[in-house]
């Protein structure tokens, strides 16, 4: 591998693969680990596994530390879809499932800041 490519891969990094926990917190600061949320329209029986934690639509999971790329697995009606999600720290990454879209839509927002 070329040195430039190795540095680029190291800069992207990966979020922890395990140890994630469900969270209801809507506030964070610049050091808060990555948060991934699942939304589905219309509401339907789907679940996601991220970092070893299972979340349902409307729920979020927070990494034990840091941020970066993490694998996410969706399960619905016996079908599985596995893909990577970029989840930086201090941001809320939302994966939205919409029947009008072929792929899950991803968006990132800065969390509400602590007072």
- pLDDT score for 50: 96
- pLDDT score for 112: 73
- pLDDT score for 114: 65
Instruction: Give this prediction's pTM.
Output: 0.83
- pLDDT score for 6: 38
- pLDDT score for 42: 87
Mean pLDDT by groups of 10 residues along the chain of 115 residues: 41 78 86 93 91 95 94 93 93 93 90 69
- pLDDT score for 16: 82
55 CB-near residues (< 8 Å, 6+ apart)? 22, 36, 37, 38, 47, 48, 49, 61
The H-or-E segment that residue 12 falls in is helix 3-12
Q: Are 29 and 114 in contact (CB under 8 A)?
A: yes
Cα 91 from chain centre: 10
């Amino acid at each position: 591998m070329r040195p430039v490519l190795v540095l680029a891969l190291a800069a992207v990094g990966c979020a922890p693969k395990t140890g994630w926990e469900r969270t209801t917190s809507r506030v964070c600061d610049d050091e808060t680990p990555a948060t991934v949320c699942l939304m589905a329209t219309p509401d339907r029986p789907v679940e996601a596994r991220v970092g070893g934690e299972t979340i349902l639509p409307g729920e979020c999971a927070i990494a034990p530390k840091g941020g970066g790329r993490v694998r996410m697995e969706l399960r619905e009606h016996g079908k599985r879809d596995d893909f990577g999600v970029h989840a930086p720290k201090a941001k809320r990454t939302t994966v939205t499932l919409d029947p009008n879209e072929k792929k899950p839509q991803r968006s990132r927002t800065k969390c509400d800041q602590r007072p």
